[in-house]
Chains A and B, each alone.
Chain A
């Protein structure tokens, strides 16, 4: 019944892909001169003035963040389609605690396609007999060290901070997973979860997709993601631009500074209710860092915003008791505080 397939006029993706890649690169390199030209020549704002700097920052960052999101997310979504959770589960099952925990944290970098997958993933892991600590390592690193965050950090701050953030996030996830694995927490999982026996239906491992289909899926999901985060990104960059242009450096350094021992807990407390995605947060973080906020405080702020998600806790409540969620959240907060204090103490 191939007559059913609707024929859409489409150019083969072998042609589209290189054209898009070249257009992306051209836009990437034209971004800085164009932003400066628009702010200083077109609008006639003065170089070095508060408003001029804020506007130039905005014009530079909006296209930059969008280009990074569109380009890298498409590539990452495409690659992710080759690493479904079933494959990851098979790779983790039956390994020693330490390698399995490290592996689970590393897999968390490539987050699942849908945020609703946290619960089915959790059930699938429990069912396969993967220890709870290993599962939690994944649940910690999945929102915290995700590809969007890393790509934006890399693009806006350079590789150094991106790698530091990734290392810090992975360490929190691994240590958190090891600690949680030591605690007797199984009794706080809803009993029905432990009783689930999946009827060996097809899994994503049995479903074959063509390269072109994976490419199209990647592009579709990237478009959706960008549409969803666009407003956050623009608002985030707007706030960042304001901080960049108008907030005095002394103020940021005074509140967030290394000398203030409460800086890290304060930013974490501010960040918890501010649940947002990395895309909207990073431009603000960029501006704060530029204003002399120390790295430890900045990392803790960003980690707390993306990793401690009340919506995720509400979803997890379906499979675990509140006490377990509280212990899980407590361990994550402790890890983030430790990262903040450690990096501030190291004075990087």
Chain B
């Protein structure tokens, strides 16, 4: 069970990233929970200064951009 966290206060970019992450989970066929983290305290605790950020199992894999579902699926499979 992987934990995928989308870091971002909820603007359009963050929502697009969340949608890509959900698509990626379906694509990769792995068991994963996608959480959208909007709390600034939690975002800051990851050391992320540019949103949206993407965290897989506690590791920051992307910041300040919207990776495609295909890219995220590759990270999920790693």
CB of A49 closer than 8 Å to a CB of B: no
Contacts of A207 in B (CB 8 A): 60-63
Contact status of A116 and B14, CB under 8 A, knowing A81-B65, A198-B44, A201-B47:
yes
CB of A113 closer than 8 Å to a CB of B: yes
Contact of A85 among B28, B43, B49, B78 (CB under 8 A): B49
- Interchain nearest-CB distance for B18 vs A (Å): 13
Interface pair A120/B61, CB less than 8 Å apart: no
Interface pair B40/A117, CB less than 8 Å apart: no
The range of chain B's interface size is 35 or more
CB of B46 closer than 8 Å to a CB of A: yes
Interface pair B65/A120, CB less than 8 Å apart: no
Contact status of A201 and B59, CB under 8 A, knowing A4-B28, A127-B44, A217-B65:
yes
- Interchain nearest-CB distance for A246 vs B (Å): 36
Interface pair B13/A116, CB less than 8 Å apart: yes
Contacts of B9 in A (CB 8 A): 116, 119, 315
Contact status of A121 and B49, CB under 8 A, knowing A114-B11, A116-B9:
yes
Interface pair B51/A117, CB less than 8 Å apart: yes
Interface pair B45/A113, CB less than 8 Å apart: no
CB of A17 closer than 8 Å to a CB of B: no
CB of A319 closer than 8 Å to a CB of B: yes
Contacts of A116 in B (CB 8 A): 8-11, 13-14, 51-52
- Interchain nearest-CB distance for B70 vs A (Å): 5
Contact status of A117 and B59, CB under 8 A, knowing A1-B74, A4-B70, A4-B74:
no
CB of B3 closer than 8 Å to a CB of A: no
CB of A211 closer than 8 Å to a CB of B: no
CB of A22 closer than 8 Å to a CB of B: no
Contacts of B52 in A (CB 8 A): 114, 116
Contact of A112 among B59, B60, B61, B64 (CB under 8 A): B64
Interface pair A117/B49, CB less than 8 Å apart: yes
The range of chain A's interface size is 35 or more
Interface pair A84/B74, CB less than 8 Å apart: no
B46-78 with Cβ < 8 A to chain A:
46-52, 55, 58-66, 70, 73-74, 77-78
Contacts of B43 in A (CB 8 A): 120
Contact status of A113 and B60, CB under 8 A, knowing A4-B28, A5-B74:
no
CB of A15 closer than 8 Å to a CB of B: no
Interface pair A220/B66, CB less than 8 Å apart: yes
Interface pair A89/B49, CB less than 8 Å apart: yes
Interface pair A123/B46, CB less than 8 Å apart: no
Contact status of A201 and B49, CB under 8 A, knowing A5-B70, A114-B8, A114-B13:
no
Interface centre among A85, A192, A203 (most CB of B within 10 A): A203
The CA of A5 and the CA of B73, in the complex, are separated in Å by 8
Contacts of A124 in B (CB 8 A): 44, 47, 49
- Interchain nearest-CB distance for A221 vs B (Å): 8
CB of A199 closer than 8 Å to a CB of B: yes
Contact status of A113 and B46, CB under 8 A, knowing A196-B41, A318-B40:
no
6 A-B pairs besides A119-B9, A124-B44, A124-B49 with CB distance below 8 A are A112-B64, A116-B51, A117-B51, A120-B51, A198-B44, A202-B59
**B interface vs A, CB < 8 Å?**
8-14, 27-28, 40-41, 43-52, 55, 58-66, 70, 73-74, 77-78
Q: List 21 A-B contacts (CB under 8 A).
A: A4-B27, A84-B63, A84-B64, A114-B13, A116-B11, A117-B51, A119-B9, A120-B48, A121-B50, A123-B49, A124-B44, A198-B46, A199-B47, A200-B47, A201-B47, A201-B55, A201-B59, A203-B48, A203-B60, A221-B65, A318-B40
